Structure 1
Amino acid sequence: AAAVTAARAADASFSPSAERGRALFTSSPAAGKPDTPSCTSCHTTTLTRAGQARAGKPIEPMAPSVVPTRLSDPATVEKWFRRNCPDVLGRDCSATEKADLLAFLTGL
């Protein structure tokens, strides 16, 4: 909700798009760290299954249908955006990108 509010502050007509979120999640922008060229590098393309961080640590499935608490805490979600967006994109995610990603992920 906070990401949508922030995105609408910049563009009142903004509407989150799961399709744009999926495209961003599966893209390989090649602007971040070489070992994390895309979100799927760690989270895999099957978001109902566990992933693995580059350090070898397991990552719970991204799909809230599998892990209901997955996207339930806004502070935790924002922490992971702050950490992962620069690794993959080479910069922070914009408010619209966050809203689109959440639209995609919450639909899983």
Structure 2
Amino acid sequence: MTSLRTLTLAALCALAAAGTSQAADTTAAQQLAHWSAQAGSPGNADKGKVFFTTRHGGEWSCASCHGTPPTAQGKHASTGKPIAPLAPAFNPKAFTDTAKVDKWLRRNCNDVLSRECTAVEKADVLAYLNALKP
């Protein structure tokens, strides 16, 4: 319980220190800490990888547009629009704008799952993405 309390406090402090009025108001690590705190447990990179690459009853998975692994430019499955690498180590701008992170997680989860992702699912996917290194 102490580590969860510490994680929650660290996430809140990091998000508060980052501010919310700037375009780059957060980091991928802060997003992971935030969603892990919301989930009540640390994100699990192995579960995040499975979630990311699995089709959840529809025709798409996260990997359909972002690639496997999501370390290079992706391409939207239906529009063909280029998508910057999703893994933060390959795209320093990934997960740096809280409003965009919330918007795209909501939109993409609805596309892939036909519902919003849970805090646990978000934490797991962010743990996976943060674990990818060059």
Fold match (TM-score > 0.5)? yes
Q: Which runs of 5+ in 2 are unaligned?
A: 1-32
1:58 to 82, 86, 104: 82
Across the aligned residues of Structure 1 and Structure 2, the Cα RMSD in angstroms comes to: 1.3
Separation in 2, partners of 1:74, 1:17: 21
Displacement after TM superposition at 1:77 (Å) = 1.2
Q: Which residue of 2 aligns with 1:11?
A: none
Task: Write the deviation string for residues 41-100 of structure 1: whole angstroms up to 9, x where unpaired.
Answer: 111113111111121210001121111121222221111111000110111100000011
RCO comparison, higher one (Cα < 8 Å, 6+): 1
Q: Where is the helix percentage greater, Structure 1 or Structure 2?
A: 2
Separation in 1, partners of 2:85, 2:71: 5
TM-score (ref. length: structure 2): 0.69
TM-score (ref. length: structure 1): 0.84
* DSSP-derived class of the 2:68 partner: coil
Higher-Rg member (1/2): 2
2:72 to 42, 49, 60: 49
How many residue pairs match? The answer is: 99
